[in-house]
Amino acid sequence: MKKTLGVAFAFLIVFLAACGSNDTSTNVSEGDQENAENETVNNEDKSSAGIQETKKEKENKQKEYDQKTGEGYVEGLGYVKTLGVGYSDEVGIDGTDSPLKPLEFGSMELTINHMEIAEIQPNADNEVLFDGRDKAKVIIVDMKAENKSDEDIEFYPDGSILVTDTGLQLEDSDVFLGEEVGGEFYGKVKKEGMATWILDDDVEKINSVKMIIDPAWNMDQSIEEPQIGEEKRIEFDILNQKDAYKKDKKGGMEQ
């Protein structure tokens, strides 16, 4: 069954983990008395802004995330608006309940569950993850990589290059806003999660995204030709939330 939930619900898990690691970094710096004093002063200076952010969050919370509109507040994340949803017959994302089509790189399989472009107004506590922005646009790809063999293989689908019809080329996903889907696969290993690419705030409307995926590599140094499979370039047509909802509903997907 294809994933039909909006990105916001699954994305929440990513943010909880990211915020947890961010808190750890803060605790380490508290040992420096001078930094702690400076932080206190800065917090006092920003107190008014903090109150304003709280008001904004309260207003956002009044509108719970709606799967049909692709817009609303997600607890622990912020206000999310789906700008576009990706479709590609090549990977089986066609708006129907038909099975997804894994991409094969020799014994490695990559299943792309979902692609989405979203605008996020993060909570005040999460703004640091977006370089302090009060609003950010992202492309998120939910996928699963699986090694079907007993061999040790390197594969990095989360390091794929995304090219948009507006002329953007995005290289490597943001490590702080995603989950590790690539890396070393020691034997029959599966990795599943969401990779995130951050866009500029003023990005034009995107109608298509090309995902360029590098081949896998056998980690056995004695093998003469370690490359497994060939580079793949997958084209995704991007539909706005309204048209995507109609397409999925017409195709029989659950909402």
Q: Is residue 2 part of a domain?
A: no
**Are the C-beta atoms of residues 249 and 95 closer than 8 Å to each other?**
no
* Structural domain range at position 99: 7-251
Instruction: Give me the pLDDT at residue 222, please.
Output: 87
Q: Is residue 209 part of a domain?
A: yes
User: H-helix or E-strand containing 99?
Assistant: none
Q: Is residue 226 part of a domain?
A: yes
Q: For 124-181, what is each residue's pLDDT tens digit? A: 777 777 777 788 899 999 999 999 999 999 999 999 999 999 999 999 888 778 788 9
User: What DSSP string runs through 113-160?
Assistant: EEEEEEEEEE-GGGGGGGTT-SSEEEEEEEEEEEE-SSSEEEE-GGG-
Q: Is residue 181 part of a domain?
A: yes
Structure token pair of residue 72: 């609303």
Domain count for the chain, please give it.
1
**Are the C-beta atoms of residues 223 and 196 closer than 8 Å to each other?**
no
Looking from the CA of 40 toward its CB, the CA atoms found within 13 Å total 7
Q: Is residue 117 part of a domain?
A: yes
Q: Is residue 1 part of a domain?
A: no
pTM of the entire predicted model: 0.78
Report how far residue 234's alpha carbon sits from residue 219's, in angstroms, rounded to the nearest whole number.
26
